[in-house]
């Protein structure tokens, strides 16, 4: 048994290594890469960051765009979480017991398989499709976020419900309680923290998606950044970028505060069942809670958050004012008929099979190069941004150190956190347009843009893994006189590395879907092919390319899930 396990791990290692080498060859040895003539414009762009345009008119425009982006994110998150929860009940095993669908054992599996299709298509592509139906109405942005995110939330929530200990649920059933009551009072309370934690993470993803959707013209900060960048108004670009960074930073802080009040440890749980347990680290910024009144404080926090959420939803809906009548308007029906008529009857693709395989390989290589760079960089920066390593009282900095070293460590940690915030706040297509100043169109600029964007996301997720480490093994090593580097090598890395790799595999799935959006602005792969087909109104070609992209995304999802299963056995 052990020999089979070792052999399986070797095969997976060889497969991933071959993919890495081939993708690097595809991206780094594909003709001319660097555009030396673009360096002056590239430097001018970064110099403009020191003196953004702060005129009253532009600041007012930035404020309105910020509110629009926030409203899109709130509405998209609320709808996707509500629909995703309903879907999770339908696809989970415990949900089948509650709904009495034991006689349909394959219903959940079939529905879970069907949900893979909408979540394989990026929300920006959904936006481009829905524009043909509803135009640039805010309903387009909300639906473009809701459709793929509902499928993603349903899948993750379903896993959370199935992985939650079901002893209270079964106890209520055995005592004669109804299945719905057992689900409501025996399972939901145990799963609520993971459900809420992932909901907060999904809200942060919705915020980034709302900014990305602005590029297709639905408004918001992404739209303003794209327009200013196209007109080479770099000072205006940085005004909107700073507004986007402030918005993401504010939401990030509010999310951390809410999760801390509710006792949610991390934003997303990848269900590594055999991974080391994590618990909240009580550092200077997260004081140890007192047992007295904890339940009342939690109830008050929940009531306050629900009231605030309801108010935000009402404000968001009234601010953007989507036209719901467009759902049943005759014009929508006519637009749908035109879209179907443009695709059907389906014509053979003008591209040969080898050409499609070449574009698919470029897309796969782009995503793999991006996630390798983001994963390695995120691991390194996660230790520099975590609160329990280089801040006073951490593993590498004792409280007895001098004040100037403590101050320097706080400045460095703050600078790294700001850098990661900037990386993840700016949408990947905007990063691609910036990189295209100095890199010729192809796989490399797309990989760099996706790598920078995912670096900010992975760096923060991995930092939270470090901050939620169980401190007892580390304190035991320190009590035995082990130096800091030994505590790090033999205490920290064994607990964090499996989860780091799992996060990287998960972001590889997401990065695979994001390759299409950087391709739409000039990078290579299937996204660039799709942009050319959209520009030439080649509806049949668009459909063939989408089918190829969906198949590639599902293949990466399958491979990523198997890699994470291998990590569970480590």
Out of 198-202, 270-274, 347-351, which region has the weakest mean confidence (pLDDT)? 270-274
Residue 26 pLDDT more than 60? no
Q: Give the CATH architecture of domain 53-271+294-321.
A: Orthogonal Bundle (1.10)
pLDDT at 273: 45
What average pLDDT does range 178-206 have in this prediction? 86
pLDDT at 58: 94
Out of 25-39, 137-151, 188-202, which region has the weakest mean confidence (pLDDT)? 25-39
Residue 408 pLDDT more than 90? no
**What are the pLDDT digits (tens) for 93-104?**
887 777 765 555
pLDDT at 452: 95
pLDDT at 272: 46
The domains of the chain are located at 1-31+355-570, 53-271+294-321
Most confidently predicted of 172-181, 240-249, 362-371, 378-387: 240-249
* Helices 188-213, 234-262: crossing angle, 10 deg rounding: 180
Out of 6-20, 350-364, 488-502, 554-568, which region has the weakest mean confidence (pLDDT)? 6-20
Q: Which helix (H) or strand (E) holds 260?
A: helix 234-262
The Cα 221–Cα 213 span in angstroms is: 9
Closest by CA position to 476, among listed 466, 468, 486: 486
What average pLDDT does range 139-150 have in this prediction? 94
Residue 149 pLDDT more than 50? yes
Residue 202 pLDDT more than 60? yes
**Top-level CATH class of 1-31+355-570?**
mainly alpha
**Same topology between domain 1-31+355-570 and domain 53-271+294-321:** yes
Q: Which residue would you say has higher pLDDT here, 402 or 25?
A: 402
pLDDT > 90 fraction of the chain, expressed in percent and rounded: 26
Q: Which residue would you say has higher pLDDT here, 64 or 109?
A: 64
pLDDT at 267: 62
Most confidently predicted of 20-24, 196-200, 522-526, 527-531: 196-200
Residue 52 has what DSSP assignment?
A: -
Task: Measure the CA angle with vertex 18, ends 13 and 19; round to 5°.
Answer: 100
Q: pTM for the full model?
A: 0.85
Out of 8-22, 120-134, 188-202, 424-438, which region has the weakest mean confidence (pLDDT)? 8-22
Render 305-336 in DSSP notation, one character per residue. Answer: HHHHHHHHHHHHHHHH---GGGGS-HHHHHHH
């Amino acid at each position: 048994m052990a020999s089979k396990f070792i052999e399986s791990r070797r095969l997976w290692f060889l497969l991933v290594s071959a993919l890495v080498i081939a993708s690097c060859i595809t991206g780094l040895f594909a003709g001319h890469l660097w555009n030396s003539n673009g360096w002056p414009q590239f430097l001018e762009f970064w110099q403009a960051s020191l003196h953004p345009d702060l005129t009253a008119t532009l600041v007012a425009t930035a404020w309105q765009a910020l509110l629009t982006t926030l409203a899109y994110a709130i509405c998209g998150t609320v709808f996707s979480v509500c629909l995703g929860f309903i879907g999770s009940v339908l696809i989970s095993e415990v949900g089948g017991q509650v709904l009495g669908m034991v006689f349909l054992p394959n219903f959940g599996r079939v529905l879970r398989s069907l949900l893979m299709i909408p979540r394989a298509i990026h929300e920006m592509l959904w936006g481009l499709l829905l524009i043909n139906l509803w135009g640039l109405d805010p309903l387009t942005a909300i639906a473009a976020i809701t459709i793929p995110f509902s499928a993603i939330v349903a899948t993750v929530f379903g896993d959370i419900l199935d992985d939650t200990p079901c002893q209270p649920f079964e106890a209520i059933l055995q005592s004669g309680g109804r299945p719905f009551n057992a689900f409501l009072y025996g399972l939901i309370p145990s799963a609520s923290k993971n459900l809420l934690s992932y909901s907060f993470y999904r809200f942060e993803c919705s915020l980034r998606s709302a900014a990305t959707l602005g590029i297709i013209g639905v408004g918001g900060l992404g739209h303003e950044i794209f327009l200013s960048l196209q007109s080479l108004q770099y000072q205006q670009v940085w005004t909107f970028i700073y507004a986007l960074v402030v918005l993401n930073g504010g939401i990030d802080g509010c999310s951390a505060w809410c999760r801390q009040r509710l006792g949610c440890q991390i934003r997303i749980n990848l269900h590594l069942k055999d991974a080391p347990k994590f618990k909240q680290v009580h550092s200077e910024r997260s004081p140890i809670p007192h047992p007295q009144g904890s339940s009342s404080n939690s109830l008050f926090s929940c009531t306050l958050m629900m009231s605030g959420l309801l108010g935000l939803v009402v404000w968001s809906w009234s601010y953007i004012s989507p036209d719901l009548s467009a759902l049943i308007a005759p014009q929508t029906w006519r637009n749908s008929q035109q879209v179907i008529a443009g695709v059907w009857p389906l014509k053979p693709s003008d591209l040969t099979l080898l050409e499609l395989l070449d574009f698919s390989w470029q897309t796969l290589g782009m995503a793999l190069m991006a996630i390798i760079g983001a994963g390695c960089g995120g691991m390194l920066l996660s230790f520099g941004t975590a609160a329990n390593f280089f801040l006073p009282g951490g593993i590498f900095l004792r409280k007895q150190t001098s004040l100037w070293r403590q101050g320097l460590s706080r400045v460095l940690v703050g600078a790294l956190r700001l850098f990661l915030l900037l990386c993840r706040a700016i949408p990947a297509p905007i990063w691609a347009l910036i990189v295209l100043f100095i890199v010729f169109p192809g796989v490399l600029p797309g990989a760099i843009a996706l790598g920078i964007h995912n670096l900010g996301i992975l760096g923060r997720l991995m930092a939270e893994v470090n901050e939620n480490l169980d401190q007892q093994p580390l304190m035991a090593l320190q009590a035995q006189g082990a130096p800091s580097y030994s505590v790090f090598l033999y205490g920290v890395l064994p607990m964090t590395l499996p989860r780091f790799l799992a996060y990287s595999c998960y972001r590889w799935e997401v990065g695979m879907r994001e390759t299409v959006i950087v391709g739409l602005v000039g990078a290579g792969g299937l996204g660039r092919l799709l942009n050319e087909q959209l520009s030439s109104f080649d509806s049949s070609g668009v459909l063939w390319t989408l089918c190829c992209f969906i198949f590639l995304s599902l293949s990466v999802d399958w491979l990523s899930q198997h890699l994470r299963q291998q990590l569970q056995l480590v």
